Amino acid sequence: MTWISHLFNRYWRNVHFISIALLSLLLLVGGGNVRGVVSSVLVQVFYSPFHIIKSTAVDLSMVNGENQRLHLKLAEVTTELGRLEELRRENSRLRAVLGFEPPSGYSMLPARVISVSGDRVPIAAVINRGTEDSIVVDLPLINEQGLIGKVVSVGPHTATVQLLTDPTHRVAVRVAESREMGIVKFRLDGGLILDNFPIQGTLAEGDLILSSGLGGIYPPGLVVGTVARVERPEEEPFCKIQLTPAASFNSLEELFILRAVAP
């Protein structure tokens, strides 16, 4: 069998030429039946494979086009679902604000956070209100959770807010139950703390801490946070008190500027 294979490989061009010549001769001199058989053989051998390949290529091209269309549609649907989910969350936040009343003697102007800055924690935010909205320095800001901070600089259409988490910020506060006072500040290595609270003062975990109104910037009664931990070191004049902020400073979006109402 090996010698036959070598022989065919050597003379395949001649075999191919002879085969074509014989088929052509049969088509020329053969009868109708012979020509029909030869034509059928030619179609099956030479035309049908290429026709099948062409049809397959066309089908694959159509499938590829359909796949691209489906991928595009899936991307559009995914984008729309993301947009609708964001609208749902915004709706939930706004519903939580409904019925939220300002402190007595103040009105609330809504504002949206444009950007937040800070390395380890957010310490400042830019809002979409400015002098065109009668915003001035030292106006306090809150959200439905509690105290946020105060305006420290103003432009025509934006303002910068110093957040409660700025280590240079100080707020005069009092304990809601005992009415004893202290100072709230933020430490990068310790979080929100209540400072200057006497060791003999009445305080416990879970107590609510409110702004006292002293200092003239923040009205009294704004929620600042709750007591998370109390330590009373021996021979120390003040307690070490850790607070949990009322507001979530890592997810600020809608805020409210407090403005005193003229009597």
Catalogue all structural domains in the chain, each as residue range(s) with its CATH number. Answer: 107-260 (2.40.10.340)
Pairing of strands 208-211, 223-231: antiparallel
Q: Whole-model pTM?
A: 0.64
Q: pLDDT tens, 29-48?
A: 555 555 555 556 555 655 55
Asked if the model's pLDDT at residue 225 lies above 90, the reply is yes
H or E stretch at 24 = helix 2-29
Residue 193 has pLDDT above 80, yes or no: yes
Question: For the segment 90-149, what is each residue's pLDDT rounded down to a tens digit?
Answer: 555 555 554 567 778 888 898 999 999 988 899 999 999 999 999 999 999 999 889 999
What token pair was written down for 101? 């009343």
Residue with tokens 């609270």: 197
Which of left, alpha, beta for 41 (phi over 0: left; psi -120 to 50: alpha)? alpha
Structure tokens at 72: 């595009």
Sign of CA dihedral 22, 25, 26, 27: positive
